[in-house]
Structure 1
Amino acid sequence: MSQSTPPPQEHTYTLTRDLDASASQVFDAWTAPAQYEQWAGAAPGTVEIDARPGGTWKAVMVTPDGQRIPLTGSYLAVVPDERLVIGMDVPGRSVPATMTLVFEESAGAGTTRVTLSQSCDSAQEREMAEAGSNMLLDSLGSYLAKG
């Protein structure tokens, strides 16, 4: 008799950052195309965001070496100023990769803790996704600090 086993957890990662901004400011930076373009490394004029459950997003990201990478996906869950669950289309994969962002504002401190988590299919995918997510969160922190 065979038993089904859960997917391996070693391909999951979670990152947190404390950012000097309100949850509303952080949420807007992720969901307003003009803001997202400024901090996320997207090519100018390529960001489209419809941040509602079932809404879609797309952007052409530009790597530090100038490579252009088109990305697409959809929003699986949206709770303004609190949570985003983003589906990311992956070529050759029948279901999207899922990234979850949770925004927790510190009462009276003017800061927000962002927790980003993602599960990947392989160690290599996890390594690449985690590196990209770290760069995104670092860039978001710098963008918000400029206020």
Structure 2
Amino acid sequence: MSTGTDFSYTLTRTLDAPAGTVWRAWTTPDRYARWAYAAPGSVEMDVRPGGAWKATVVTPDGGEFPMTGSYLEIDENRLLVVGMDVPGRPAPVSMSVELDEDGPRTRIVVRQSCDTAEERDMAEQGSTMLLDSLAAFLADGSSG
């Protein structure tokens, strides 16, 4: 049985926004929906340890996938650990988002452990798309 640590990924980016702005993009439903491929009005967030979240992700071909989970760990403007419910799995899959402010910029590190190489590759591709979209959202100036 795999512990999930065999198949993990880490993505690091430097974003042109302070940590508070990046934090709000991840934790404010209307802002999150604008960059995270979520259907308008589908995002709900109770941003506290144990609090629930949900969103309906819209794929480029128009498919919709409801997602749910909870917040596992929160350190405002620094760390967000999100649990994602996966059908058929007894425990949520966790993803961590670490923020490290460097003046007007923020270094973001996204980490996730998966059970298989295929799962890791799909999750890493999805997270890369999210970070690309987040960077574009922050760059357009309407995120502050």
Question: What TM-score bracket applies, with the shorter chain setting the length?
Answer: over 0.9
The 3 A distance-change label for structure 1 pair 7 and 44 is same
Work out whether 1:49 is the aligned partner of 2:24.
no
Give 1 or 2 for the bigger CA radius of gyration: 1
Q: Quote the offset at 1:77 in angstroms.
A: 0.5
**Cα 1:8–1:31, aligned 2, differ >3 Å: closer, same or farther?**
closer
Q: 1:115 aligns with which of 109, 128, 132?
A: 109
Structure 1 residues without counterparts, runs of 5 or longer? none
Unaligned runs of 5+ in 2: none
Partner residue in 2 for 1:94: 90
CA contact (8 A) 2:83 2:93 kept: yes
* 1:135 counterpart (129, 132, 144): 129
- The 8 Å contact of residues 4 and 114 in structure 2, kept in 1 or not, is answered as no
Aligned residues: 141
- 2 CA distance for matches of 1:25 and 1:16? 17
Q: Distance in 1 between matches of 2:63 and 2:7?
A: 26
**Aligned ranges for residues 1-147 of structure 1 at < 5 Å?**
7=3, 9-106=5-102, 108=103, 110-147=104-141
Q: Distance in 1 between matches of 2:120 and 2:138?
A: 26
Aligned sequence identity (%): 55
Q: Using a 3 Å threshold, how does the CA distance of structure 1 residues 46 and 12 change in structure 2: closer, same or farther?
A: same
For 2:53 and 2:2, how far apart are their aligned partners in 1?
30
- Give 1:117 shift: 0.1
**Cα RMSD, aligned residues only:** 1.2
Secondary structure (helix, strand or coil) at the match of 1:9 reads coil
Structure 1 residue ranges, 4+ long, deviating more than 4 angstroms after superposition: none
User: Are residues 43 and 10 of structure 1, via their aligned partners in 2, closer, same or farther at CA, if it must alter by over 3 Å?
Assistant: same
